[in-house]
Structures are given as C-alpha cells and as structure tokens.
Copies of this chain bind each other. A is one copy, B any other.
Amino acid sequence: MPFVRIDALRAAPERLEALGRAVYDAMRETIDIPVDDLFQVLTSHDGTSGTLRYGEDYMGVHRDDGIVFVAITMRSGRPPAKKQALYRRITELAQEYAGTEPRNVFVTLTENEPIDWSFGDGVAQYAAATAP
C-alpha cells in the first residue's frame, strides 16, 4: 500500500531503480508491508524542465545535488518507533544500493485510511477485507 514518489537530480535509470529498491526493502524490514506491495513513481529531474530546490544546511545537515526526496503515502497507525526505524533503514539502504549519502535523504510521510486505497478492479480491497 505505501505509495511512494522519489525525486532526484540527473539520476541514471539504474540509480533511480536502486533508490526504489532501497525504499521498498526498508519498508519490508521495518513497517511490515507484504511482499509485492510496491507502488512507486521515480523521477529524475534534468535541472531545466524540472529541478529540486533545497536548503543546504537546514537542521544542521549539509545537502548537495545528490539529494533525494522520498514522499510516502500510507495508512495511519504506525507508531513513532517504526517510522524512525523506517527513516534509518531507507538511509542505510540508499547508501548501500545507490551510493547516496545519508545527509542527502529527505523523507516525508502522509497518512490516510484503509478505505482510501484501490489496488485495481475498481475495488477498495482493504475496506472489503474488514467489512462484515
């Protein structure tokens, strides 16, 4: 269910794909998503028709053009400790798979509810699964 958008600057397809795998694997390990629960939009911006702007030192973290924005929409209910584990693991795997430095990984979460998902066939699968 998590729906993920990843945005990077001038990233080769292999790097985009490695970042996508990092986020998926981190979710599998830290927030208990099922196998194959993978829905991602990966975008490389060329700096002309699209670009990323960022504060170079906000919160005491130094960033550069290796920055990666990860925006995740998922169901509400994960406790803070799981979210913190998720951030940590995304960062570790982004470094391992894509060579992205931890300081360049930005993550934000937005939450919704089970009824807010349809995985195909026009059905709200999570709602149907729990309806009487």
A contact residues vs B (CB 8 Å cutoff): 3, 7, 13, 16-17, 20, 24, 34-59, 61, 63, 69, 71, 73, 80, 83-84, 87-92, 102-112, 115-125, 127
Q: In the complex, which of the residues B3, B37, B123 contacts A71, with contact meaning CB atoms closer than 8 Å?
A: B3
Do A122 and B110 touch (CB < 8 A)? no
* Distance A53 CA – B35 CA, assembled complex (angstroms): 14
A38-B55, A89-B122, A105-B122 are known contacts; what are 19 more A-B pairs with Cβ within 8 Å?
A3-B108, A7-B41, A16-B51, A40-B52, A43-B45, A58-B119, A61-B119, A73-B110, A80-B124, A87-B123, A88-B122, A102-B121, A105-B120, A106-B118, A106-B119, A108-B116, A108-B117, A109-B115, A110-B116
Decide: A69 near B41, CB < 8 A? Known: A106-B118, A117-B107, A121-B103: yes
Do A36 and B56 touch (CB < 8 A)? yes
The winner among A17, A20, A124 for most chain B CB atoms within 10 A is A124
* Distance A117 CA – B89 CA, assembled complex (angstroms): 14
* Distance A13 CA – B60 CA, assembled complex (angstroms): 28
Decide: A55 near B36, CB < 8 A? Known: A49-B43, A80-B127: yes
Q: Closest CB-CB distance, A27 to chain B, in whole Å?
A: 12
